[in-house]
């Protein structure tokens, strides 16, 4: 079965009989990104897995894991895709919190260090580029301006094209929208 056929089957199973204009827009957007993107196929589905976990969308997690296994990813690599949502959930929450504080409060020494362990960011099983992509897409879903900006910069600094970064943001946005229909 081809990727377009698999995406169609997933959508039909997840949204049986759904025929609204909004669903049509969202499903067509997802198909376009998953079928035709500057992102490599494994990058698409690694990010689908991370985003699915961030959205607590179990059926999408299963779909992504099956695709990643068929693409030859080992279990540890797939697990890191899901766990990327966990570490970024922590960081996105913390940095959004800091964004709510005034500059005067942030100047207090109590807020100078996050004090949160995040060594895993430098020891990514999938490599820095792939992990940064997942960190970016999850940060988009979690709406953390600081993290989105930071990971966008990290991606461009290591040579990821803006077209790929844009598709990661589009993928996150479309999946967030679809998750609201389930």
Residues annotated catalytic, as ranges: 144, 147
Q: What is the DSSP letter of 56?
A: T
> Tokens 């990104």 appear where?
33
Q: What is the DSSP letter of 108?
A: S
Which residues are within 8 A (CB) of 124 and not within 5 positions of it... i.e. 6 or more apart? 80, 130, 131
Cα–Cα distances (Å) from 106 to 27, 43, 96, 111, 121, in that order, read 42, 36, 13, 6, 24
Asked if 115 contacts 162 with a C-beta cutoff of 8 angstroms, the reply is: no
Helices 21-35 + 41-54 axis angle, to 10 = 140
Q: What is the spatial distance between Cα 169 and Cα 171, in angstroms, rounded to a whole number?
A: 5
20 three-class SS: coil
Closest by alpha carbon to 94, among 150, 166, 144?
144
Asked if 38 contacts 161 with a C-beta cutoff of 8 angstroms, the reply is: yes
């Amino acid at each position: 079965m081809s990727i377009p056929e698999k995406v169609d089957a997933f959508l039909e199973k997840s949204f049986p009989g759904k025929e609204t204009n909004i669903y049509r827009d969202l499903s067509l957007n997802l198909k376009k990104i998953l079928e035709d993107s500057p992102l490599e196929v494994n990058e698409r589905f690694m990010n689908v897995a991370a985003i699915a976990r961030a959205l607590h969308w179990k059926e999408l997690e299963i779909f992504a894991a099956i695709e990643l296994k068929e693409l030859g990813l080992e279990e540890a690599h797939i697990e890191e895709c899901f766990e990327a949502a966990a570490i970024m959930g922590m960081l996105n929450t913390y940095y959004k919190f800091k964004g709510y504080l005034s500059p005067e409060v942030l100047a207090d020494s109590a807020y100078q260090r996050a004090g949160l362990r995040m060594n895993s960011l430098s020891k990514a099983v999938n490599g820095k580029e792939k992990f940064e992509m997942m960190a970016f897409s999850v940060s988009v879903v979690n709406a953390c301006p600081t993290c989105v900006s930071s990971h966008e910069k990290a991606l461009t600094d290591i040579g990821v094209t803006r077209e790929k970064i844009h598709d990661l943001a589009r993928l996150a946005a479309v999946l967030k929208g679809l998750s609201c229909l389930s």
